[in-house]
Amino acid sequence: MKMPSRPTFLRGLGAALLATAIALPAAAQQQPAAPASSTIDAIRARGTLVCGVNTGLAGFAQPDSQGVWRGFDVDYCRAVAAALLGDANKVRYVPATAQARFTALQSGEVDILARNTTWTLSRDTSLGFDFAAITFFDGQGFMVKRSLGVNNAAQLDGATICVQPGTTTEQNLTDWARANRIRFTPVVIERLEDNINAYLAGRCDAYTTDVSGLAATRAVQANPNDHVILPEVISKEPLGPLVRHGDQRFADLVRWVHFGLVGAEELGITTANVQEMAASDARPEVQRMLGRNGDLGRMLGVDNAWMVNVIRSVGNYGEVFARNLTPIGIQRGPNALWTTPGGLQYAPPFR
Amino acid sequence: MSDATADPRFRRKPPKRPLRLSWADERIRGIFWQIIVVGIVGTIVWWLWSNTAHNLEVRRIATGFGFLHREAGLPIAESLISYEPTDTYLRALTVGVLNTLKVAVIGIVLATIIGTAIGIARLSRNFLVAKIAGFYVEVIRDLPLLLQLLFWYTIMQSLPGPRQAMQPVDGVFLSNRGFKVPALVWENAHTAAALAFVAGIVLTWLYARAARAKRMIDGQPRKVWPAAVALVLGLPILTWQVMGAPWEIDWPALRGFNFRGGLTVSPEFFALLVGLVTYTAAFIAEVVRAGILSVSLGQWEAAQALGLRSGSVLRLIVMPQALRVIIPPMTSNYLNLTKNSSLAVAIGYQDIVSIANTTLNQTGQAIEGIAIIMLVYLTISLSISLFMNWYNARIALVER
């Protein structure tokens, strides 16, 4: 009872220290995003592009046996790094779960999110993002075991369905069930792998996600023919890379890297012939795209040889698709060039 | 405790001193430091707040709790209240809170019973019983809880599918879709019987108190159990009979993909409950063992010398003293169990964390979502703490 001030003071000091401990990481997080329009400068200063990707989805983003990330989304990260830094290998990959991905981008932990993410109005507006382009037109479907004897989605009434939480998939599923008066029991497990394992173990009758994801999962099973992807596609899932809202320059760059890949396919520019075409092709659009003529690269804030670097590293859109998605059984379908019937991939003019 | 009845001289107030505005006055120094500290903390909080608000605005991220009244559209597998995906986020989150409470309450009760049994078993004079209990405690508390949860969930998943479900007893099915048991079709008579059951317990308690008071006067022990049986069992049965004795059973049956009817214990809930209970029980066992060991051997011997039977020794002499040691760490274990239930996300049980995570993902309002999770856990934990502190104060022995 001698010194009442001492313990209260210590307690106060403790509270102050605690508050500082909470404040510090928050302050550190706020740092990279503070200059709102200079993602490009930050990437240049750092020397690497930080790219948020899937935690592991065959065909889209998955480390191979040497630990090198490979996949469709990964190639978009590589393409942006090639355009911006001249080297497709200057990328640091940050695997993000479906639930953690948006916070990772909002907080500035990653520069760009190339993680099979669906473009929706609310994500574009209230989440504070900009979707750069639609790199893959997808739709949601169902996969069931062949032994179940189900051949269309209407037969799924009463089924237990595995679905990943925090995705548009979850909401599409309830919308579809409501519209078709189908009752189902959801099983929602956060990690993709655990979710798929639950389906494989028989915890669920069906597994639902984007058709591309289903094909990717089916392809890596010991016996892919034991699983059937049902014909119904219950939603539109335009997938593409996204960046933080408010940095138009960076969004433009990512958008035009995608258009460049599509345009290169249109013009027949490939990994094999890009150097030769850059040097000698007579078509004006090829000359503009590959930087021999005009100043298109500089208008985007990068080197004029940006598309040469991109195509040298990853190839054109068709090559990216053929390398990553064709092996797991995904057809071009709506992702064919607009010049093919049913194709939707289209690039505005390079001029 | 001891100073309450201590020397009356200590109850006198110290003489009042006038407050001097001087550094030499320790009260003035105290006030000075308090103001400094509060000022620093206040500045930091204000800075964090304004900084966050500014950044959210710059990035055009929506703020506020308006989203709570929007349609959730997320599917929830198990719920204590009626829930449809067309309901609001608020209702979805309420379902999450109730799911957390469900697993926490059942978990705490089971962990206490099993933990106490194992703690006592570890002190058993039977070599085998003591060693098995010791082995259980040492193994279970050394393995990470998340690993144990995944273990139990994998076991649940490796049960046969619904069409090949095991049927240990007629009407009870075990499959990878969970446990299916027949359910009573609930009617008013059952609600009345449940209320009568509660009334029976209250009346028994009052009766036991009266019996004890009478015993204090005349020293005659009175049997409580006949009245207890009549009140706790007889009263509900009588109520149920009077209201027409409805007895309709909803049997689970395989229809299409899955069982319909009956009551379901989902694999996710079961795995989480078993994981939490076995894990926490190991800690509770050690707390109980420590509590019993803290009572000196002399107390046992003195009680036996008075002629009490061994059950009475434990109940009347040892336990009241052991509880003083047991209750405070028990509170921590209850809090741990409740907080550990948030690992449910890993095995797909939709507790408050799971649903709030999905909500913050769909609405993009991470700060609000996390704030809701923190508020929920803080409320639950403080409630447990307050209750246990009250109970601790109640059972504390008054030393004279």
Q: How much is the pLDDT for B284?
A: 96
CA B270 from chain centre, in angstroms, equals 16
Nearest partner of B207 among B227, B226, B189, judged by Cα: B227
pLDDT 10s digits, A105-141:
988 899 999 998 999 888 888 888 999 999 999 999 9
Distance (Å) from the alpha carbon of A134 to chain B's nearest alpha carbon: 20
- The per-residue pLDDT for B6 is 60
Q: Which residues of A touch B45 (CB under 8 A)?
A: 19
Cross-strand partners of B253 = B260
Which of A115, A150, A187 is most worth mutating to test chain B (most B CB atoms within 10 A of its CB)? A187
pLDDT at A72: 96
Strand partners, B255: B258
* Neighbour-count burial of A191, counting CB atoms closer than 10 A to its CB (0-12 exposed, 13-18 middle, 19+ buried): middle
**CB-CB neighbors (< 8 A) of B354 in chain A:** 165, 188, 190
Q: What are phi and psi of A94, to 5 degrees?
A: -115, 105
Helices (H), chain B: 26-58, 89-122, 127-140, 145-157, 188-218, 225-229, 235-242, 267-293, 297-305, 310-312, 319-340, 344-347, 352-363, 366-395
Residue A315 has pLDDT above 70, yes or no: yes
Query: Rounded distance, CA A149 to CA A239, Å?
Result: 31
* Cβ-contact A240, A72 below 8 angstroms: no
Cβ–Cβ gap A99/B48 under 8 Å: no
pLDDT at B9: 66
Who among B41, B52, B358 is closest to A166 (CB)? B358
CB contact under 8 A, B354 and A188: yes
Q: Which of B60, B177, B358 sits opposite A165 (nearest CB)?
A: B358
pLDDT tens for chain B, 400 residues long, are 444 556 666 667 777 777 777 788 888 888 999 999 999 999 999 999 998 888 878 777 777 888 899 888 888 988 888 898 889 999 999 999 999 999 999 999 999 999 999 998 998 889 999 999 999 999 999 999 999 999 999 999 888 888 888 888 888 888 888 888 888 888 888 888 899 999 999 999 999 999 889 888 888 888 888 888 888 888 888 988 888 888 888 888 877 777 777 788 899 999 999 999 999 999 999 999 999 999 998 998 999 999 988 878 888 888 888 988 899 999 999 999 999 999 998 898 999 999 998 888 788 788 889 999 999 999 999 999 999 999 988 887 666 5
Could you tell me the residue ranges of all domains in chain A?
39-137+239-335, 140-235
Q: Are B258 and A9 inside 8 Å of each other by CB?
A: no
Which of A174, A175, A197, A250 best probes binding to B when mutated, by most B CB atoms within 10 angstroms? A174
Q: Is the pLDDT of residue A38 over 90?
A: no
Contact B296, B304 (CB under 8 A): no
For residue A123, what pLDDT is reported? 87
From chain A, pick out residues whose CB is under 8 angstroms from the CB of B154.
201
B188-218 vs B235-242: helix crossing angle, rounded to 10: 150
List of E strands, chain A: 49-53, 62-63, 69-70, 91-95, 112-113, 129-131, 136-138, 140-145, 160-163, 185-188, 206-210, 227-229, 237-239, 242-244
DSSP run (H or E) holding A21: helix A5-33
Helix (H, G, I), strand (E, B) or coil at A176: helix
Confidence class of residue A272 from pLDDT cuts 50, 70 and 90?
very high
**Is residue A4 over pLDDT 70?**
no
Contacts of residue B358 in chain A, CB cutoff 8 Å?
99, 165-166, 170, 188
Query: For testing the chain A interface, which of B361, B367, B368, B373 should be mutated: the one with the most A CBs within 10 Å?
Result: B361
Q: How far apart are CA B109 and CA B124, in angstroms?
A: 23
Orientation of helix B267-293 relative to helix B145-157, angle to 10°? 140
Distance CA A54, CA A61 (A): 6
Question: One fold for both A39-137+239-335 and A140-235?
Answer: yes
Q: What is the DSSP letter of A154?
A: G
B17 DSSP assignment: -
pLDDT of amino acid A273 = 94
CA B279 from chain centre, in angstroms, equals: 14
CA–chain centroid gap for A290, Å, is: 26
Q: Which of B48, B52, B358 sits opposite A170 (nearest CB)?
A: B358
User: Distance (Å) from the C-alpha of residue B172 to the closest C-alpha of chain A?
Assistant: 18
Can you read off the two tokens belonging to residue A325? 């998605």
| Cβ contact, residue pair A98, B41, below 8 Å | no
CA A175 – CA B15 distance, rounded (Å): 75
- Contact A141/A211 with Cβ under 8 angstroms? yes
Share of chain A above pLDDT 90, in %: 61
Nearest partner of A115 among A168, A172, A56, A164, judged by Cα: A56
DSSP H or E run through A298: helix A296-300
- Within 8 A of A123 by CB-CB distance, chain B residues are 364
The alpha carbon of residue B282 is apart from the nearest alpha carbon of chain A, in Å, by: 28
**Which residues in chain B have their CB less than 8 angstroms from residue A26's CB?**
48, 51-52
Q: What is the Cα Rg of chain A in Å?
A: 23
Q: How many other CB atoms sit within 10 Å of the CB of residue A117?
A: 26
φ, ψ (nearest 5 deg) of residue A97? -70, 165
What's CA B52's distance to the chain center, in Å?
35
How confident is the model at residue A257, as a pLDDT?
A: 96
The pLDDT of residue B399: 60
Q: CA A208 → CA A58, A143, B209, distances in Å?
A: 16, 6, 61
What confidence tens digit (pLDDT) does each residue in A19-34 have?
444 444 444 443 333 3
Residue-by-residue DSSP string for B89-109 = HHHHHHHHHHHHHHHHHHHHH
Backbone phi, psi, residue B364, to 5° = 75, 10
Which of B73, B267, B350 shows the shortest C-beta gap to A188?
B350
Contact A175 B73 (CB under 8 A): yes
Nearest CA in chain B to A2: B26
Average per-residue pLDDT for chain A: 87
**Contact across the interface for A165 and B55, Cβ inside 8 Å:** no
Q: Do B74 and A174 touch (CB under 8 A)?
A: yes
Count other C-beta atoms under 10 Å from residue B262's C-beta: 18
pLDDT of residue A36 exceeding 80, the answer is no
How much is the ipTM here?
0.74
Global confidence as pTM:
0.77
pLDDT value at A13 more than 80: no
Amino acid B75 reads: P
CB atoms A99 and B357 under 8 Å: yes
The CA distance from B266 to B180, in Å, is 9
Kindly provide the residue ranges of all beta strands, DSSP E only, lying in A42-100, ordered along the sequence: 49-53, 62-63, 69-70, 91-95
Cβ neighbours for A114, distance < 8 A, ≥ 6 positions apart: A51, A52, A53, A61, A73, A74, A76, A77, A241
pLDDT of residue A126: 81
Contact (CB<8Å) A245/B358: no
- Scan for tokens 């890949």, then name that residue: A261
- Angle, CA of A212, A218 and A222, to the nearest 5°: 155
The pLDDT of residue B376 is 95
Quote the pLDDT of residue A58.
85
Task: Find the CB nearest A173 among B60, B75, B267.
Answer: B75
Is pLDDT above 80 for A3? no
A vs B: CB pairs below 8 A: 168
Residue contact B61–A5, C-beta within 8 A: no
pLDDT for A16 equals: 45
In the predicted model, is pLDDT for residue A183 greater than 80?
A: yes
The pair of three-digit structure tokens given for residue B283, joined into one six-digit string: 């800690």
Query: Residue B26 and residue A165: Cβ atoms within 8 Å?
Result: no
CA atoms of A292 and B247, how far apart (whole Å): 87
State which residue of chain A sits closest to B30, comparing Cα positions.
A5
* Alpha carbon of B173: minimum distance to chain A alpha carbons (Å): 15
Query: Which residues in chain A are contacts of B55 at CB distance < 8 A?
Result: 30, 33
Average pLDDT over residues A208-220: 89
Domain at A140-235, CATH class: alpha beta
Cβ distance A270 to A47 under 8 Å? Answer: no
- How many CA atoms lie less than 13 Å away from B309 in the CB half-sphere? 2
Identify all chain B residues contacting A5, using CB atoms and an 8 Å cutoff.
Answer: 26-27, 29-30, 33
pLDDT at A336: 95
Inter-chain residue contact A126 with B62, CB threshold 8 Å:
yes
Among chain A residues, the shortest Cα distance to B49 is held by A23
Interface test with A, best of B55, B151, B363 (most A CBs within 10 A): B55
Distance CA A350, CA A333 (A): 25
In B, minimum Cα distance to A186 occurs at: B77
**Chain B interface disruption, residue of A147, A163, A188, A247, most B CBs within 10 A:** A188
CATH number of this structure's domain B89-159+266-395, picked from the four choices 1.10.3720.10, 1.10.10.10, 3.40.190.10, 3.90.1150.10: 1.10.3720.10
Domain A39-137+239-335 sits in CATH 3.40.50.11440: no
Name which of B44, B58, B357 is nearest A166 (Cβ-Cβ). Answer: B357
A93: region left, alpha or beta (phi > 0 left; psi from -120 to 50 alpha): beta
DSSP string, A307-338: HHHHHHHH--HHHHHHHHTGGGT---GGGSBT
Is the CB of A201 less than 8 angstroms away from the CB of B345? no
